[in-house]
C-alpha cells in the first residue's frame, strides 16, 4: 500500500478521535488556567503583589540558566515515557490516558497563569511554542492511540461473548485498526523526538537571542 495514500486515509478514518483528543487537551488547559484563582487564592495574591519583571533585569539574572538544559534524549525518554503510559492506558478503557492528558494540559496552564501575572508571558511562550507544538501534538496522538486500543479491546471482548463472531476472525478483521494503532504510536514517538531535539538545541538559542 502506498504510504502517502495510507496516511491520508489514516487521518480521514481517525479524524474524529484526533479532534476529540485535541478538544480534551484544550478543555483541560482552560480548566487548569481557570481553577488556579479558585484553588490558590493566596498564591494569586502574592503574584499580584509582585512587580512585573522587565526584560533587562530578567535577562541579566538568567543569562546562565537560559543555556542550561537537558539533552535531547533525556527530553525524549522523559516525554516518551509519559506518552507510553498514556497509550498503555488504552487497555484500561483510556481512563488513565485521559488523566495523563489532563496533567499534560495543566502543566501548561500553571506556568502560563504565573508568567502572565509577573510580566514574563512572552518569555514563556517563546520558550514553549517551538518545541511545544511537537511535544503536545505527540501527547494528543498518544491519546488517539489509546482510544484506538480501547476500540480494538471492546471489539475483541464483544467477540468473546458473541455467538455470531469468533475472536480469531475479529482479530483478522481488525488488521487495519491494529495498523492504525502502530501508526499512532510511531507518530507520537516521532513528534516527541523532534520536540526533544528542538527543546535541547534550538529553544535555548531562541531564548538567548530574545532575552
Q: What is the mean pLDDT of each run of 10 residues along the chain (211 residues)?
A: 91 98 97 87 77 54 52 95 98 98 93 87 91 97 98 94 84 95 98 96 88 69
Looking at residue 71, the DSSP 8-state letter turns out to be -
Instruction: Tell the residue number behind the cell numbers 464483544, with chain if given.
Output: 158
Q: Do the Cβ atoms of 176 and 96 come closer than 8 Å?
A: no
Q: Do the Cβ atoms of 18 and 142 come closer than 8 Å?
A: no
Distances (CA, A) of 169 to 13, 91, 109, 165: 22, 20, 46, 7
Q: What is the pTM of this model?
A: 0.88
Cell of residue 69, nine digits: 538544559
Calculate the CA 38 to chain-centre distance: 25
Look at residues 26, 88, 68 and name the one whose alpha carbon lies nearest to residue 208. 68
Number of structural domains the chain divides into: 1
Q: Which residue segment(s) compose the domain that 50 sits in?
A: 3-210
Helix, strand or coil for residue 209?
A: helix
Distances (CA, A) of 2 to 5, 6, 8, 109, 187: 5, 6, 10, 40, 17
pLDDT at site 102: 96
Amino acid at each position: 500500500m502506498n504510504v502517502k495514500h495510507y496516511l491520508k486515509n489514516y487521518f480521514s478514518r481517525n479524524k474524529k478521535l484526533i479532534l476529540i483528543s485535541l478538544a480534551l487537551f484544550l478543555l483541560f488547559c482552560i480548566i487548569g488556567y481557570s481553577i488556579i484563582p479558585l484553588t490558590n487564592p493566596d498564591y494569586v495574591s502574592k503574584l499580584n503583589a509582585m512587580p512585573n519583571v522587565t526584560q533587562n533585569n530578567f535577562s541579566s539574572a538568567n543569562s546562565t540558566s537560559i543555556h542550561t538544559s537537558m539533552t535531547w534524549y533525556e527530553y525524549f525518554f522523559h516525554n516518551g515515557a509519559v506518552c507510553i503510559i498514556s497509550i498503555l492506558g488504552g487497555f484500561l478503557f483510556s481512563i488513565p490516558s485521559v488523566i495523563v492528558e489532563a496533567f499534560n494540559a495543566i502543566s501548561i496552564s500553571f506556568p502560563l497563569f504565573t508568567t502572565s501575572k509577573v510580566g514574563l508571558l512572552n518569555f514563556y511562550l517563546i520558550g514553549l511554542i517551538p518545541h511545544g507544538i511537537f511535544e503536545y501534538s505527540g501527547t494528543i496522538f498518544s491519546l488517539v492511540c489509546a482510544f484506538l486500543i480501547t476500540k480494538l479491546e471492546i471489539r475483541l471482548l464483544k467477540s468473546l461473548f458473541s455467538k455470531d463472531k469468533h475472536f480469531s476472525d475479529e482479530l483478522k478483521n481488525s488488521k487495519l485498526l491494529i495498523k492504525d494503532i502502530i501508526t499512532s504510536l510511531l507518530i507520537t514517538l516521532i513528534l516527541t523526538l523532534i520536540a526533544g531535539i528542538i527543546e535541547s538545541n534550538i529553544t535555548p538559542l531562541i531564548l538567548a537571542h530574545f532575552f
